[in-house]
Amino acid sequence: MATLYKDMTTHLEFLVEESSLKESLNQLLPKILPQEISFAIHSYRGKDDLLNKLPSRLQGYKAWMPSHYKIIVLIDEDRQDCKALKQKLEDIALNSGLTTKSKANSIGPYQVINRIVIEELEAWFFGDPIAICTAYPKVPASIGGKSKYRIPDRISGGTWEALERELQQAGYHAGGLSKNEASRKISEYMEPSRNSSASFQVFYRTLQHLI
């Protein structure tokens, strides 16, 4: 594949479950991808909407997609069985006639990469507390040192709820967390290489491997 990429410009198609993740990727991807790699982000109206529409979407790609395209499906775990969710995504892709990275051998061609955000997008934000505090300066710098946030992918009680609580205690989003706004603001200051979320680092390494 490395030889192929010398002759063609890689293009990445991201399929995500909601607009807040799209807002985040719009900030993050230019920090990770070189300018010659193009991308498009397609968001859905939640996890169920993405899962319901994914088979027909992938079948549509199968009909026309050139060899230098890659599809990256990003979906929240949401406290589901991670392995079962990943297998569901794998089955949808394979039934659509596309090969996934997991099923391809080390040098074989593939079109689809499935990645799980554990347990939801906000865990990625807790993985970079500096970005949270830079986007929202009244949030105490000690937030990253709290024991309940040290392992972002294992925050109990929901990472969305935890972020909303921390921001409201600092005087932000009094009427309820605006996920799109928070995603855009925090992601603007995120530094991919320092993020401590394990699921983010899997995603980050996936992109590094592609380039």
Asked whether residue 144 falls in the same domain as residue 155, the answer is yes
pTM (two decimals): 0.92
Max mean pLDDT range (64-68, 157-161, 183-187) = 183-187
The two tokens of residue 159 are 């990472």
Mark whether 100 and 10 lie in a shared domain: yes
pLDDT per residue as tens digits for the range 92-116:
999 999 999 998 865 578 999 999 9
84 and 125 share a domain? no
Question: In DSSP terms, which residues pair with 117 in a beta bridge?
Answer: 76
Range of the domain at 128: 121-188
Residues 69 and 114 placed together within one structural domain of the fold: yes
115 shares its domain with 126 = no
DSSP 46-101: SHHHHHHHHHHHHHHHHHH--TTEEEEEEEE-TTS-HHHHHHHHHHHHHHTT--BT
Residues 69 and 165 placed together within one structural domain of the fold: no
Based on the fold, state whether residues 94 and 132 are members of the same structural domain.
Answer: no
128 and 183 inside one domain: yes
State how many domains the chain has. Answer: 2
Whether residues 19 and 60 share a domain: the answer is yes
Q: How far apart are CA 128 and CA 83, in angstroms?
A: 26
SS3 call for 12: strand
